[in-house]
């Protein structure tokens, strides 16, 4: 029976299985607690292997007194591995629950962050910048209209100035009419004198001279009235011109002051708009940075799915080992020879449960690096 004892004991298989799993697990960003636990499992397995080999040596030395030891070894392995399996599964489920909570919270935080960035970001600030731009445009338009109104007043002033000149001419003309009337009156007086000197024959001429004198008096009176009216118009025109000039000057001053004020306001608007624009750009940059970081975190948060699958494979294999050992125990109880483990076949069977590439490459240095995402393959 001693010669048929397992050339490689179950402890060695456990060492191989758990050691492989631990390397795979560390390669997938497990926490330190998990790594420590895995290390503990490996040490326990190594101890089992050690005592198992010691048992084999002792068996070789003392002959057939191996049954109690073998039974106890199987019992302790069965009990320990059952617990290891339960504990690994417990860790897997706890990690899964925590991972699920973590991702849900992360999604909620991400949503709130996105909402916040949207509310204070591009849209609202872009709106303010647009309002400022529109205001600048409106104020510039108003300034242009003021300048245009000022320009439009100048022809009117020129027209009024032209009218004043015309009334001056009218005044001179009225004066000329008065002079002509006086001259005509003098002529009429002379004619009347000559008519008196002519006696009876000049009586008709005297009547004409008197009529001419009366007409010259009326002409003189009319000329004076024209002159008076022209002077009144001239005074009114002068006042209007003075008022128009004063208003024009005031408008010019007002426009000039408005221009300066509006330019100052526009400059302040421009500063605010530039500040907001820079702030908007900053928010856009921050938003983009957050988006990239979220992408990275999403990748990292997927460790739970990988570690869960790796640990599930370990649990499955431990349970398979327990089954195998129980079978051996039964064979031992029936007094049958124990079947040696075929480690290569065992590992091959284990590898069938692998679902991640790093499980195959656990001992390769590349498996220690963070897991990178890959491109999508289209069929």
Partner 1 sequence: MSKTVLVVDDSSSMRNLVSMTLTDDGFEVIEACDGRDALQKLSGQKIHLVISDVNMPNMDGITFVTEMKKLPAYKFVPVVMLTTEGSDEKKKAGQAAGAKAWVVKPFQPAQLLAGVRKLLMM
Q: Which residues bind partner 1 (CB under 8 A)?
A: 96, 99-100, 102-104, 106-107, 110-111, 114, 294-295, 298-306, 308-309, 355-357, 371-379
Nearest distance in Å: CB 362, partner 1:
14
Q: Residue 321 to residues 53, 59, 339, 350: CA-CA distances in angstroms?
A: 18, 23, 13, 10
Q: What's the closest the beta carbon of residue 367 comes to partner 1, in angstroms?
A: 14
Minimum gap (Å) between residue 27 Cβ and partner 1: 12
Task: For Cα atoms 190, 196, 197, give the angle at the middle one, nearest 5 degrees.
Answer: 90
| Centroid of chain to Cα 277 | 11
If the CB atoms of residues 206 and 298 are measured against partner 1, the closer one turns out to be 298
**Shortest Cβ distance from residue 303 to partner 1 (Å)?**
8
Q: How far apart are CA 66 and CA 54, in angstroms?
A: 12
Which tokens hold the place of 156? 């009117």
Q: In degrees, to the nearest 5, what angle opens at C-alpha 48 toward C-alphas 46 and 52?
A: 115
Measured CA to CA in angstroms, residue 320 lies from 5, 140, 144 at distances of: 20, 85, 91
In the complex with partner 1, which residue's Cβ is closer, 104 or 364?
104
Tokens of 99: 């991972």
Closer by beta carbon to partner 1, 133 or else 305: 305
State the Cα angle at 211 between 206 and 212, rounded to 5°.
95
Backbone angles phi, psi at 8, to 5 degrees: -125, 120
Dihedral-angle region of residue 199 (phi above 0 means left; psi in -120 to 50 means alpha; beta otherwise): left
For the bound state, the minimum distance from the C-beta of residue 258 to partner 1, rounded and expressed in Å, comes to: 49
Measured from the CB atom, is 201 or 374 closer to partner 1?
A: 374
User: Does residue 205 contact residue 194 with C-beta atoms inside 8 Å?
Assistant: yes
**Min dist. Cβ of residue 91 to partner 1 (A):** 15
CB of 329 to partner 1, least distance (A): 30
Closer by beta carbon to partner 1, 111 or else 327: 111
> Cβ neighbours of residue 240 under 8 Å, at least 6 residues apart?
160
Shortest spacing between CB 19 and partner 1, in angstroms? 21
**3-class secondary-structure state, position 156:** helix
CB-CB contact of 57 with 5 (8 Å)? no
Task: Give the helix/strand (H/E) hosting 264.
Answer: helix 203-301
* CB of 3 or CB of 376, closer to partner 1: 376
Integer Cα distance of 181 and 189 in angstroms? 12
Closer residue to partner 1 (CB): 3 or 379:
379
What letter does residue 333 receive in the DSSP assignment?
H
Q: How far is the CB of 127 from partner 1 (least distance, A)?
A: 22
**32 or 376, CB closer to partner 1?**
376
Q: Is 101 helix (H, G, I), strand (E, B) or coil?
A: helix
Q: What DSSP letter does each residue of 44-82 carry, written as one string?
A: HHHHHHHHHHHHHHHHHHHTTTTHHHHHHHHHHHHHHHH
CB of 14 vs partner 1, minimal distance in Å:
24
């Amino acid at each position: 029976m001693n010669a048929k004892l397992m050339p490689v004991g179950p402890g060695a298989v456990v060492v191989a299985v758990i050691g492989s799993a631990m390397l795979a697990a560390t390669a997938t960003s497990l926490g330190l607690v998990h790594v420590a636990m895995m290390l503990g499992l490996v040490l326990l397995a190594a101890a089992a292997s050690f005592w198992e080999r010691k048992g084999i040596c002792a068996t070789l030395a003392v002959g057939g007194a191996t049954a109690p030891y073998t039974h106890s070894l199987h019992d302790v392995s069965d009990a320990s591995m059952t617990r290891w399996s339960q504990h690994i599964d417990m860790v897997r489920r706890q990690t899964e629950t925590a991972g699920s909570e973590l991702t849900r919270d992360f999604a909620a935080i991400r949503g709130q962050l996105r909402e916040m960035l949207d509310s204070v970001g591009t849209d609202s600030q872009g709106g303010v910048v647009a309002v400022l731009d529109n205001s600048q445009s409106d104020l510039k338009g108003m300034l242009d209209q003021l300048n245009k109104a000022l320009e439009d007043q100048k022809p009117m002033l020129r027209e009024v100035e032209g009218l004043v000149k015309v009334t001056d001419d009218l005044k001179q003309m009225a004066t000329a009419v008065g002079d002509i009337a006086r001259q005509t009156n003098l002529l009429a007086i002379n004619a009347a004198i000559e008519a008196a000197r002519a006696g009876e024959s000049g009586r008709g001429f005297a009547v004409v001279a008197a009529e001419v004198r009366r007409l010259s008096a009326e002409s003189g009176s009319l000329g004076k009235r024209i002159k008076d009216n022209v002077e009144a118009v001239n005074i009114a025109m002068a006042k209007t011109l003075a008022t128009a000039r004063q208003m024009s000057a005031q408008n010019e001053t007002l426009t000039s002051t408005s221009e300066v004020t509006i330019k100052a306001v526009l400059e302040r608007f421009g500063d605010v708009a530039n500040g907001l624009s820079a702030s908007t750009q900053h928010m856009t940059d921050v938003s983009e940075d957050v988006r990239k970081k979220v992408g990275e975190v999403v990748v990292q948060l997927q460790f739970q799915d990988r570690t869960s699958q790796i640990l599930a494979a370990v649990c499955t294999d431990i349970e398979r080992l327990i089954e195998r050992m129980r079978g051996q125990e039964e064979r031992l109880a029936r007094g049958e020879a124990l079947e040696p483990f075929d480690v290569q076949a065992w590992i091959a069977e284990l590898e069938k449960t692998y679902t991640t590439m790093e499980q195959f490459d656990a001992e390769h240095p590349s498996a220690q690096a963070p897991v990178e995402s890959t491109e999508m393959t289209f069929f």
